[in-house]
Amino acid sequence: MRLLIVDDEPIIRNGLTKMAQEYAHSFDAIETAVNGLEAMERIAQAEPDILLTDIRMPKMDGLELCQNVQANYPHILMVVISGYGDFDYAQKCLSYGVKHYVLKPVTPPDLHELFDQILKTRTPGYIPVSKYVDWIERMEQSIWSLQTDERSKLLVEWRDHCAQVSVQQLKELMNDAAALLQKYFQEKKCPFQLRISEPFLASSKADLFREFEIRLQAFTDDLLTSRRGNFKDPMEEAKAYIDTHLSVEISLKEVADIVGITPTYFSALFKKLTNETFVSYRIHKRMEKARELLSIPHKRTVDVAAEVGYDDYPHFTKTFKKIFGISPSEYRLSLGIK
């Protein structure tokens, strides 16, 4: 597990860090921040499993931090540290999803007992946050690009990961997952009303999985209907964009943004569906276009190289020969063009 400690007092921050380091079940990583703003930056870089934060801090206090975390990272478990005078203030954090608080001065037994309580509620069905978030992002991408086989595969993977969790834990996980999925689709300006995040009502694990799958299928059907047959396959759309921009440099991220999916998912999906990487596909398309242009007698070879995005003529010649086995000039000679 990963832990993020937030406190503006160096002595307290270092003391909490040392106590956490002495905990029997070591953390994978322990990071610190001096206020809420810095904490949000740390979370954006690497999400922790547990956030341990003071209440009163400059720039962004603990209350505002918890509010931001709940809105953007509802799966992070938040713990608030407060003095007796801040107790009423700390209680406001309960409305932002905070389930634990500890009173100052914090001692090692206090903190270690708290960690024990957290572990008991998260094991044996604990799912690492990174895996959980990665799964949700992959699910969102597969649905948005209408990759139903991938969606089914991810549902099976989800069942396997959740095999050891209790019914209540599973229901909480699914409520969180549904809320995040709905948030992602809203950001994509989904053209119809979303009902993914309505509370789950099933009382058994099998029924919860079934209810979740029905919701995802219903959303997929609504998405397909809303597009009214005008939906372009993301890979076909990506390839069309690449094919019409052979003369300029374009990045994988640029193409992924155009088809509305993340670069990581786009890269994996592109290779899966085309049996080529993004880079190799562009090279082959550039060389095919070059071969076509070289068959036009009045075109100079150096101009053909520029038209397919190669300012470095020797590099163009080397790449063409690597693909076709002969140089551009040899290819033109084979066509009777000097």
CATH number for the domain that contains residue 114 = 3.40.50.2300
Residues facing residue 51 across a β-bridge: 4, 78
What pLDDT is attached to residue 86? Answer: 61
Helix locations, the chain, DSSP H: 10-21, 36-45, 62-72, 87-91, 108-122, 129-144, 148-161, 167-187, 205-227, 234-243, 252-259, 263-274, 278-294, 301-307, 313-324, 328-334
What pLDDT is attached to residue 318? Answer: 93
Do 167 and 114 belong together in one domain?
Answer: no
Q: Cα torsion for 166, 71, 116, 134, to the nearest 10°?
A: 60
Do 211 and 114 belong together in one domain?
Answer: no
Q: Against a cut of 0.85, is the pTM above it? A: no
Do 220 and 205 belong together in one domain?
Answer: yes
Please give the tally of structural domains in the chain.
Answer: 3
Give the CATH number of the domain where residue 248 resides: 1.10.10.60
Domain hosting residue 301, numbered range: 234-334
Mean pLDDT, range 118-128, rounded to an integer = 61
Do 105 and 90 belong together in one domain?
Answer: yes
Per-residue pLDDT tens over the stretch 22-41? 887 778 788 999 888 898 98
Do 27 and 95 belong together in one domain?
Answer: yes
What is d(CA 272, CA 142) in angstroms, rounded to the nearest whole number?
13
* Domain's final residue, options 227, 242, 266: 227
Contacts of the segment 234-241: beta carbons below 8 A, 24+ positions apart: 234/145, 234/259, 234/260, 234/261, 234/266, 234/269, 235/269, 235/270, 235/273, 235/274, 238/266, 238/270, 239/274, 239/281
Per-residue pLDDT tens over the stretch 73-97? 777 888 888 775 566 666 666 666 6
Mean pLDDT, range 288-307, rounded to an integer = 91
Do 144 and 222 belong together in one domain?
Answer: yes
Do 6 and 117 belong together in one domain?
Answer: yes
* Domain's final residue, options 122, 153, 179: 122
Per-residue pLDDT tens over the stretch 37-78? 898 988 888 778 889 888 888 888 878 888 888 887 777 888
- 86 within 8 A of 56, measured Cβ to Cβ: yes
* Domain's final residue, options 227, 255, 290: 227
Confidence check: pLDDT of 124 > 50: no
Mean pLDDT, range 232-241, rounded to an integer = 78
Do 296 and 217 belong together in one domain?
Answer: no
Confidence check: pLDDT of 180 > 90: no
- The SS3 assignment for 119 reads helix
What pLDDT is attached to residue 61? Answer: 83
Which comes out higher in pLDDT, residue 145 or 120?
145
Mean pLDDT, range 307-334, rounded to an integer = 92
